[in-house]
Amino acid sequence: MRNLPISDFLVISIGAIFGANARWVISRFAARIISPVFPYGTLFINVTGSFVVGFFMIWSSERVLLDPRWRLLVVVGFCGAFTTFSSFAFETMAYFQQGQWIMMLANFISNNLLCLGAALAGMAVARAV
């Protein structure tokens, strides 16, 4: 820890503030507008976060050479606080414990397939622009 610059912690923290607040706003909006029964907000956040990480990592390392602190801001800070894998895991296991097998499988399959697809799409878009 002695060699880690304090500026890196600040950059990550700034990204995390925005990521955590975006997560909260989107989750509440989805529950109110779409449905509180299925965790659509978590699904949307996981898919878009996967796309952003896939896009930004390729774009910032292959297309333009950005200062590495941009990756700390966007990927580690923002997406680290924005994406909700822990929420996904809890919600999936809650369906399991409640015996709601179809909801459990729907949540598991949709999050995994869509997030992997979104990461791949982000990588492809970054290479195409």
The length of the chain is: 129
Res. 6 pLDDT band, cuts 50 70 90? confident
On whether the pTM is more than 0.85, the answer is: no
pLDDT at 2: 64
pLDDT, mean of residues 75-79: 95
pLDDT at 1: 55
Residue whose C-alpha is closest to residue 52's, from 75, 29, 86, 81: 75
- 129: CB partners within 8 A, 6+ apart: 59, 63
Question: Which burial class, exposed, middle or buried, applies to 94 when counting CB atoms under 10 A from its CB (0-12, 13-18, 19+)?
Answer: middle
pLDDT at 52: 94
Quote the percentage of the chain above a pLDDT of 90: 86
